[in-house]
Amino acid sequence: MKKILTRLTALIMVVVTAFILVGCGKDATFEVKNAYVVIDINPSIEIVTNEDGKVLRVTALNEDAQVLLVDVDLKGKTFEEAVDAIIELAKELGYIDQLDENAILFTVEAEEERTVEELIKFLQEKVNKFKDKHKLRIECLIEQLSKDPNLVEEARNLDLSVNKLALIKAAIEINPELTIEEARKFPIKDLLKIIADSREDADGIVNDENLAEYYKNKKLMASKITLKEVELLNEFIQSAEEDLFTSILEGTEISVETVKSLYQEYFDAIKAAIDNFNDEGEAPDTSEEEKILLELIETLLEEKETLEQSIQDLLREFANIDRRLPNFKELKDQVQNQIREFQHERKEIMDQIREVTRELRDQFKKQLQENRGGNINSNHNELLRELREIRKEFEAKFEEIGIDLVKFERHFIDYIRDQIEDARTQIKEEFEAMKEMLKERSKEAKEQLRERKNQLKDLFR
């Protein structure tokens, strides 16, 4: 099961916990500023725009999207130009089928609710014009990130707009070192830039496995740095002479040993959380129901891989057919129909995977709410959230004895700043080396994507 959640990383990135479905309607016009949009055809593509309404970043969220976007640069284009290019390419490569029922799902969010409403109308108009122009059958579905009722309640408690909290959570999902406390200070345009910059850091890494490994290690890097910093601080604090505590304990009746003991307790809690965490992100006490869901997802993923291999084999066969043959058109039609059938089957499998994934996420949330079995840690984000909770707990404990934990640590950091910086640098260098390895591994994969794109273009021309 360990590989299941690793392979799910890229999939979960495009699954939304709650949504509103809107049918395609009347025409509308719109200039899209500071927006976050995911287009899911089956290629799943994320678009981030800036305050000028220009595309800040376009990211492929799965392998079909990598095929579609290979050698395509949409940065700096208008949002409309980007959407036009993506759906035209999807048709050109056979992801939107002339002969079959199609669906385009948009996941949207923006700073203001009015902007979101206008964005929905704009996308409705865009899909309507596209399907009328090409005489296609397309169902248009639109989801809004902030329509999760739990998110509404959380936003109220945090005194944030629901739209902003939705984008904060999207940014934290990609950049787990970010906290809600830090992110709430940023304007929407800066949150969107964080998303764009985090995606850009993975440029050059392609295929689902390589990207899953990259994001897993990026998230793990944050917890490694946290543990190393606290470990170095704890080692110094435990061996420090009493005179180094004088200014910290001035005006209190707390002993040096009490403070040392409390910080040791803090370090032990951090270390235990990370030690208990499985690097593959699997919960150690997975329930029977979750095991069944994970096994079902594994079966569906295997079926999907088999279909994708069949498509690849068909494309290779088609590329080797002599175009001078009198029955070439008939052979081409046969290949097209077979690929359409495979793509339709794959779409049904992806729909099933999304449904099961949503159910699995609900199970993990339920576990976390009930705190069953203690430490659940379903993924690296859960680990980082747990570390933040431990931090809050011990900030409160230190406050009870009249000490500000942040100032306490800052006092001792001054003595070992170079050691801490060296440790941070080493962990980051290890991550960069891993990233370069993945980029090198991705070079061949990118050529395969380019070849597949050309084969699809040729087939559906």
Average pLDDT over residues 31-37: 84
Which of 129-143, 189-203, 221-235, 337-351 is predicted with the least confidence, judged by mean pLDDT? 337-351
13, 125, 211 from 6: Cα distances, Å: 12, 38, 10
Higher pLDDT, 94 or 13: 94
Q: Sorting pLDDT into bands at 50, 70 and 90, what band is 228?
A: very high
* 424 lies in some domain: yes
Mean pLDDT of the residues in the chain: 81
- What is the number of other CB atoms lying within 10 angstroms of the CB of residue 101? 11
Does residue 251 lie within any of the structural domains?
Answer: yes
Domain membership flag for residue 452: no
Name the percent of the chain lying above pLDDT 90. 29
Tens of pLDDT, residue by residue over 107-122, are 999 877 888 888 899 8
Cα gap 90→102, rounded to integer Å: 11
Domain that residue 91 falls in: 10-200
pLDDT at position 456 is 80
Higher-pLDDT residue of 288 and 362 is 288
- Residue 61, H or E segment: none
Residue 353 has pLDDT above 90, yes or no: no
Q: Is the pLDDT of residue 97 over 90?
A: no
CA distances from 179 to 187, 220, 348, 368 (A): 14, 16, 37, 19
**Is residue 5 included in any domain, yes or no?**
no
Domain shared by 267 and 304, yes or no:
no
Domain end marker among 374, 398, 425: 374
Let me know whether 79 and 175 are in one domain: yes
Query: How many other CB atoms are there within 10 angstroms of residue 104's CB atom?
Result: 24
Domain tally for the chain?
3
Same domain, 221 and 82: no
**392 CB contacts (<8 Å, ≥6 apart)?**
none
The domain boundary, picked from 332, 351, 374, lies at 374
Residue 395: pLDDT band by 50, 70, 90 thresholds?
A: very high
Looking at the fold, whether 18 and 135 belong to one and the same domain comes out as yes
Q: Could you read off the pLDDT of 191-227 as tens digits, one per residue? A: 899 899 888 888 888 877 888 888 888 878 888 888 8
Residue 398: inside a domain: yes
Per the model's pLDDT, the better-predicted residue between 193 and 339 turns out to be 193
Q: Are residues 352 and 331 in the same domain?
A: yes
Mean pLDDT of 420-437: 93
Average pLDDT on 403-416 reads 93
pLDDT of residue 9: 41
Q: Are residues 360 and 425 in the same domain?
A: no
How distant, in Å, are the alpha carbons of 101, 322, 325, 330 from that of 334?
Answer: 19, 15, 14, 6
Is 375's pLDDT higher than 50? no
**Selection from 235, 241, 236, 234 nearest residue 256 by Cα:** 241
* 292 plus 147 within the same structural domain: no
Confidence of residue 152 (pLDDT cuts 50, 70, 90): confident
- Predicted pLDDT at 8: 40
Residue 135, domain member (yes or no): yes
Which of 374, 395, 430 represents a domain boundary (last residue)?
Answer: 374
Average pLDDT on 241-256 reads 90
Range with lowest mean pLDDT among 244-248, 361-365, 412-416 = 361-365
Q: Give a yes or no: residue 106 inside a domain.
A: yes
Does residue 234 lie in a domain region?
Answer: yes
277 and 158, same structural domain? Answer: no
pLDDT of 286? 55
Q: Say whether both 193 and 74 belong to one domain.
A: yes
Together in a domain, 51 and 171: yes
Q: Is it the case that residue 2 has pLDDT exceeding 80?
A: no
Residue scoring higher pLDDT (366 or 428)? 428
The 10s digit of each residue's pLDDT in 43-56 is 889 999 998 889 99
**pLDDT value at residue 157:** 86
The CA–CA distances, whole Å, from 452 to 11, 18, 301, 420 equal: 21, 34, 20, 47
Burial 154-181 (b: 16+ CB within 10 A, else e): ebeeeebebbbbbbbbbbbbbbbebeee
270/393 same-domain check:
yes
| 170 in the same domain as 64 | yes
Residue 14 reports pLDDT greater than 80: no
Of residues 386 and 74, more confidently modeled: 74
